[in-house]
Amino acid sequence: MSDHEHRQDLGMTRQQALRLEFFIIGLGIFALLLIFQPFSLQLFAIGSVLVVIAGLINNLLPMAQPGVKFRSVVTVAMVVAMIFCIVLLISIGAAHLYGAFFLKPPDPNTLAGKAQLATPPFWRQPLVWGIAAVAAVLALAITAMNKVRD
């Protein structure tokens, strides 16, 4: 067994775990700095996206321990991303159902109403299919990684 393979079996060193922890916490702080800066609306938008990403990555903090294998950290990150995609799809579906049941339909006699009626339904939007594809690929990758490990 080579020295590199032996180190992989032991998992992260104390220094690597500390770096992972600092990265996770630093990403959240950086995102907040971007949100509360008064200079640019684009930086605010980037900060808003980073806050969501940092919140999801915060789920990896318990894994930032010496001895935890990198493969475990990657697997947990993939599970978190897959759950986020599934929740996002459920949220889009719930918003559609809310609009279908509780909002009045668009008026076809107005320009805005014509635009709304010309828009394809949510299940035909590329974003929704893209999110569903990412969730499916993550599920398959997690399953394949677990089969290879066993």
Banded pLDDT at 3 (limits 50, 70, 90): low
The residue whose two tokens read 């930086």 is 43
Burial of 62 (0-12, 13-18, 19+ CB in 10 A): exposed
The pLDDT tens digits for 25-50 are 999 999 999 999 999 999 999 999 99
Domain spans in the chain, listed from the N-terminal domain onward: 1-67, 69-150
Burial of 8 (0-12, 13-18, 19+ CB in 10 A): middle
- Is the pTM higher than 0.85? The answer reads no
The pLDDT tens digits for 41-82 are 999 999 999 999 999 999 999 999 999 999 999 999 999 999
Residue 148 has what pLDDT? 82
The residue whose two tokens read 């990657």 is 74
Q: Which residue has the higher pLDDT, 148 or 9?
A: 148
Q: Rounded to whole angstroms, what are the CA distances from 89 to 42, 44, 125, 142?
A: 26, 25, 12, 19
